[in-house]
A and B are shown apart, each in its own frame.
Chain A
Amino acid sequence: MKGAATLADLALLVPELILVGMALALILTARRIQKTPVAAVGTVLAALAAAVAAGWTLSEDAQTGFSGMITVDEYSQFFKVLIAATLALAALLAVRSIDRERIPRAEYHALLLLASTGMMLAVSALDLLTLYLGLELMTLCSYILVGIRVERPTSNEAAIKYFLLASFASALLLYGISLTYGVTGATDFAGIASALGEQGSNQLLSVAIGLVTVGIAFKIAAVPLHAWAPDAYQGASAPVAAFLAAGSKAAGLAALGRVGLVAFGSEADVLSAVLLGLAALSILVGSVVALSQTDMKRLLAYSSIAHAGYALLGLIAGTPEGVSATMTYAFFYVFMTLGAFGVVIALGERGETLDGYQGLAAQRPGTAAIMLLFLLSLTGIPPTAGFVAKFVVILSAVSAGHMALAVLAVACSVISAFIYMRVAVFMYMREPRDPAPSRFPMAVSAALGVAALVTLIGGISPGSLTLWAVSP
């Protein structure tokens, strides 16, 4: 052991500590606040405080703590702000639906907070073990969140499936970490990189890199490690699905980006071959299978699989520019997917099937318009953020010389256009079937507004964000 943690180390973890503190407070007072809005308000405030704390140090020099296991740099703070935003939006969007589905308020929010803590740890990890711990904290909370509707069999089934598959993936990740340690004698990224620089590549190392990549790729639901996502999203309550689709993906991409660039930078060939396969399969399978979905959460699950593939396009190049392209993608993806899920959540039961969207534009023109915006962004049509995101990652793939992959990516975006625009057809070109939805709670409207604003501004003024998307 290199030395005990000091107060200076803890100062690096202020955002995480805020979230943990709030989670503990919620758990301790759970019984008293169950019928009050305290949990939601507390979570949103904690998320905002964490975002401010992370944003405060956004442009400062990188610092490391806990004997080099944790870092605070522009990369980690970028993702921490993003994760805090995901947390806040997931808490706001859930305001009505958790009551309808009889989800205990304090527990739901405490788990969201703890899962976000795990994500934040993962994005600032400088050591494979810290990374593992962060990702596992996130996943552990996610199992419970998926299964939190205890009286529903579908929810339980989803949680069990998710748990079994995720345990398997965690084992792969851990195995990869131990192999890496065996080859290099280190688990910290700098140590791995310097050991690799000295000894060069060997086959065992390739296996190790493959296993680590695949283990993390499970978290972002990249094909062929995607099988859990549709079931988990469908079985989970919609706000949980939204949180998983956005947060889990952002954290996983951040981890992959840092591991790939910092730890395994010298083995870029192996890494990019693995990522290339994952990206191409994810884009293809996600887009094609989504075609036949009529359940909105499943549809968005397959959409999120395809988007994981698009986001990976940036990492294939193995360059800082590529990583910052993926950062841009992750950022905009979070808001557009939370927005689309947000509309699903806001519409309640009706929002969960495709048929429920019939005639929505005639009943609620504003809601339909905002959903159209998110769908266009998911398709990647300007002037929305989704287009900018697609532009940067495809640019990165083309720069790396993967022209065929770029063509595959855009070809699949035509397929996905059919999927998303089918929802638009239902909203705009069919007669209403169900009675008009009731007014949305203020919190839900606010969350949708924020997501829409980011989606729109990101498309009109893309330069503002790319300044912040600085790779490690």
Chain B
Amino acid sequence: MTGYPVLTATTFLPLAGAVLIVLIGSERLARWIALATTLATLAVSAPLYWYFNKGSSALQFVELREWIPSWNIAYSMGVDGISLPFIFLAALLSVLCVGASWTAIQTRVREFYAALLVAETAMIGLFATSNLFLFFVFWELMVIPMFLIIGVWGGPGRVYSSVKFLLFTLAGSVLMLVGMIAVYQAFGTLDFKALAGETIEPVFQAWLFVAFLAAFAVKVPMFPVHTWLPDAHTEAPTAGSVILAGVLLKMGAYGFLRISLPILPDAVQLFLMPMLVVSVVAIVYGAYVTLVQKDIKRLIAFSSVSHMGFVTLGIFTLNRSGVEGAILQMINHGIVSAALFLCVGMIYERTHTREIKDYGGVAKIAPVYSTLLALFCLAAAGFPGLNSFVGEFLIIGGAFKTQAWLGAAAVWGVALGTTYMVWLFYRVAMGEINPGLEGLKLELNLREVATLAPLALLAVCLGLYPESVLSYLRAPVAELLASGVAP
């Protein structure tokens, strides 16, 4: 199909860019190298979408090379319809992050872009690999650049937030390490497909489920281990928030889809009810907490808790509608929350405040900005015709099929979501112009419009034609549910 190993190239091109930035000691060039690298990564990933066979649930673009023969661990890459959209999301958001940091990051520019590019490698690699060992390696590789991005270039409380983020994620992932080692010890392989074919004792499955849950729940984040998220999102620089909300949170949910559901089906049944309940709690609790936030970034951060609650709810409904909706919702949330954080970052650069009370009447000063903000707020609220609507609709449909009260609670979450997003927009953009904003030039420049435009386009297109993502999901989700996990 193509003349080069697409997945390897897509994964490691950003790393090469990071090395180049470190080697070339120029701050000015660093931005351009980062932009070129992220664009090139998007370009080399193009064959993935072009040549992908949507009808097949098998792994495609498979690369298999010897890596650690004495341990029977191979360098194996491969994507299916579930992982592919995330690779696109990670590659796209990385480009936008470079754009969003162009003027916002003024100190230690080289290190910033190097860290960003290492994070991109970790994100793409995580979704592109087909074995647990590499999955773990990329999982951990992600933590360090994010730790630095939050802690070095973040807001006033950055050090506390970055250390909290680091310790939460590590505490989860070391248990995954034990789980991985136990699996490897028992079966001698860490290949996802091979492990899905093993019959694992139910008790052992339960232990493994708990070990992996520790890692995934922190990343998603699920209630009650979500407390790192508001701090990290709020203090991170814009690009950091975008990566966190856009991709990092999806890594946990992707772990459920890639590991828990196919490999540990009995344990999933065992823990089904607790998982559903925790998801619903996250949706409703998250939404109520979002309502009372006074800081825009914190508000969007807490809305992520609620929105990711939809994702885990959908996954654990274990029916087609729910799971497809959950994956779609992951993509949609990646687009919308990234866009909202970009919007906040752009206006913060001008006003240097994130307090909602310092805003008001922005629509009168900056109509283009406010239009885009309105679009993304409505998208986040699940407005029909925009992308999140379809995902939430499918999830709620799936939830009603499982248990009616789950669906009812989720609908309540949507209602609250509309409230806080519309109210946010109202307080920021409508009403009288806040005296503190007089004289500020709030309107976006061309670079910023160009940064937001792809996301706006995606929000509209996926809202009108969700099939563009759903068509990728159909075959792999059908196989996932046919493999015995569905009730």
Contact = CB atoms under 8 A, between A and B. Distances in A.
B184 A410 contact: no
12 contacts: A361-B152, A381-B143, A383-B141, A398-B182, A399-B185, A403-B182, A406-B178, A407-B178, A410-B178, A461-B68, A462-B71, A466-B70
B381 to A, nearest CB: 36
Interface in A401-430: 403, 406-407, 410-411, 413-414, 417-418, 421, 424-425, 428-429
A248 B68 CA distance: 30
Contacts of B159: 425, 429
A171 to B, nearest CB: 39
B153 to A, nearest CB: 10
B167 A425 contact: no
Contacts of A428: 148, 151-152
A463 interface: yes
Interface string A429-472: 10000000000000000000000000000000111001100000
Interface stretch (A145-153, A287-295, A387-395): A387-395
Contact of A410 (B67, B151, B175): B175
A381 B137 CA distance: 8
B331 to A, nearest CB: 27
A387 B140 contact: yes
Nearest to A412: B174
A421 B166 contact: yes
A182 interface: no
A467 B151 contact: no
Nearest to B150: A429
Given A410-B177, A463-B70, A382 B151 contact: no
A394 B137 contact: no
Contacts, number: 88
B177 A394 contact: yes
Contact of A411 (B111, B158, B174, B182): B174
A365 B148 CA distance: 13
A227 interface: no
Given A381-B140, A387-B140, A398 B185 contact: yes
Given A383-B141, A395-B184, A466-B70, 8 more contacts: A382-B137, A382-B140, A387-B140, A421-B147, A425-B151, A429-B152, A429-B162, A466-B68
A410 B178 CA distance: 8
Contacts of B151: 425, 428-429
A429 B158 contact: yes
Contacts of A395: 181, 184-185
A12 to B, nearest CB: 29
Contacts of B224: none
Interface of B: 22, 67-71, 108, 110-111, 136-137, 140-141, 143-144, 147-148, 151-152, 158-159, 162-163, 166-167, 170-171, 174-175, 177-178, 181-182, 184-185
A462 B73 CA distance: 11
Given A391-B181, A410-B178, A418 B69 contact: no
A362 interface: yes
A398 B163 contact: no
A387 B178 CA distance: 13
Contacts of B185: 395, 398-399
A301 B293 CA distance: 46
A418 B174 CA distance: 14
Contacts of A312: none
B187 to A, nearest CB: 12
A113 interface: no
Contacts of A58: none
A390 B143 CA distance: 18
Contacts of A372: 144
Contacts of B70: 463, 466-467
A424 B144 CA distance: 10
A417 B111 contact: no
A437 B110 CA distance: 21
A404 to B, nearest CB: 10
B163 A414 contact: no
A417 B170 CA distance: 8
A172 interface: no
A398 B141 CA distance: 24
A414 B184 contact: no
B166 A398 contact: no
Given A406-B181, A429-B158, A414 B71 contact: no
A421 B178 contact: no
Nearest to B148: A428
B158 to A, nearest CB: 7
Contacts of A158: none
Nearest to B138: A382
Q: Which 10 residue pairs spanning A and B have beta carbons closest together? A: A410-B174, A463-B68, A382-B137, A429-B151, A398-B185, A382-B140, A414-B171, A429-B159, A395-B181, A417-B170
A182 B376 CA distance: 82
Contact of B178 (A361, A376, A398, A417): A398
A424 B68 CA distance: 31
A428 B184 CA distance: 36
B143 to A, nearest CB: 7
B63 to A, nearest CB: 17
Contacts of B171: 414
A381 B181 contact: no
Nearest to A406: B178
Nearest to B159: A429
Given A383-B137, A410-B178, A467-B70, A376 B144 contact: yes
Interface in A200-240: none
Nearest to A376: B144
A425 B163 CA distance: 8
Contacts of A403: 178, 182
Contacts of B167: 414, 417-418
A237 to B, nearest CB: 32
A253 to B, nearest CB: 21
Nearest to A416: B170
Contacts of B110: 365
A254 to B, nearest CB: 21
B118 to A, nearest CB: 11
Contacts of B71: 462-463, 466
Contacts of A407: 175, 178
A413 to B, nearest CB: 6
A413 B174 CA distance: 8
A426 B314 CA distance: 42
Contacts of A410: 174-175, 177-178
Contacts of B175: 407, 410
Contact of B111 (A365, A425, A429): A365
A462 B177 contact: no
A390 B170 CA distance: 15
B218 to A, nearest CB: 12
Contacts of A467: 70
